[in-house]
Structure 1
């Protein structure tokens, strides 16, 4: 690593994602004592709608300060909190001052506080979006807000209207209740391999890993997919995407792997190197019945034996861990490191908080 070369005495500490997740959950449990509307935005950020709690705990600022104090005293951690009338501005408030700070953004002061900030501070304005905006002289949130909605839409498409609304304080998206989530539209996984895949056996092993992960998640969610999507990236970062819509929904690893391989071998020379493959199950349904099946394209009746086998694998892994059972071709291959193989793929006036661990 470049850091080790420049600083030989550098001490590298391995990440402890499990511990991080544990403390984020504990923080959210504290939040839940003040409102049932706690929506996770990332592993260490959440939005809270405390409108219905103001008569119990005080103003938005008072509740924010109370949360900071409790997290600091009970967990020995600090958080920064943004208090505002919508989610986008609450997020900006949580980033405004660190560590261990409360920033209140109101309808009266948001132009003074936020308009001078770089446009990249705005939610969902990434590097590519910022490049487009900066080419037309938009470098700050205020400059973005001053444009007409139609102008931003022409530059950025539908997403442009969204960030324009955010910049102007017009975000009206609600904070979801604890445990509430958007319906799942697809389930996928991708792997950047530790070395280039070379040949059919490598590809089969890689696709089986992906299908194993995606299939297990489909079955755990009680879902089936009608469409399988595959993306391939070569060492020169050239990408192709292909998909196949099936006559009947599937959720077995075996079916997903066979469909994925069929897609790849029709579109790709197996002797050409592959750096990354993604496999996505789309067109999700809760029923295995679906599609229009004719005499000529009807798939073979799904093997009850295969269904029982994969259900048994799911139960064993649920009890003894992911590595309790695996496929021989996966165990033999060196296309991923063990650590890679462990990673599963994959608002009226309201007081809204965005809390972020410092």
Structure 2
């Protein structure tokens, strides 16, 4: 930590003598007990999924794109390799290397950087993982992750979803997440094929921007040299629901902002698509996304505020085991403005199989 933060050697010696709990607080807060700041705090640590993710019985350590998150990665690596909880999994921790091209001009070129953040890694079935190429995850990062997952027999399929490289989207879990076996929530503008409007002269005056399109390529461990493509995210998610999860019901899509402009993009920015499934069909979301909430109602979901749900659970009026098809709403305050959806702020260790 002292090396990556550029601390003095004298300060390093002082920190070596610290109590373990105090040292941990210092690493996270960036401040000593007397409140003097020695390096920046790491508030992004609340987005735990970005620095590590469990895939079956393996742990994939990620490589964040921003230098500000290097300390988080180092701390997470230390936890996974040293904490008693993960003792039996130390030989199953996967670390993403840099490609050999990176060493030609290290630090000068970003083209060959291997970056991968957990918001771009989505486990959709025991043998299938989605990896997003986005503003934060590079193609080289996805490439190295695919090789690691196949070489270690972690999964059979990896599908790469290349979304537009822009801050609005950041990770794939900001534009779609799973609600239940046959239900997904997503942003319509990146999901459907958008044909050119022939009545708009601008479409003939400027070249189309490939960065604004979504590409989907699926790799299979048995024959990785023959990847499969999907024409849209809906086609991919329907394939997952029907073939991976064996759904016997039609696949449903609940669109951000109820698919209506400008609410679709506006509510996506405040994490309408970034939901966390506590169990099949029971998801956490923010109460500010009114049109998306309306879309959930239209699709037969109950809507409940978290405060009311807690009261009902404590009084025995509701049983957690019997709750189905429910969107649980929480206030977001400043979290949603920092791309802080529920999916981002979680790090599942064990998952129930659907």
TM-score by length of 1: 0.25
Identify which of structures 1 and 2 has the higher relative contact order when contacts are C-alpha pairs closer than 8 Å and 6+ apart. 1
- With normalisation by structure 2, the TM-score equals 0.26
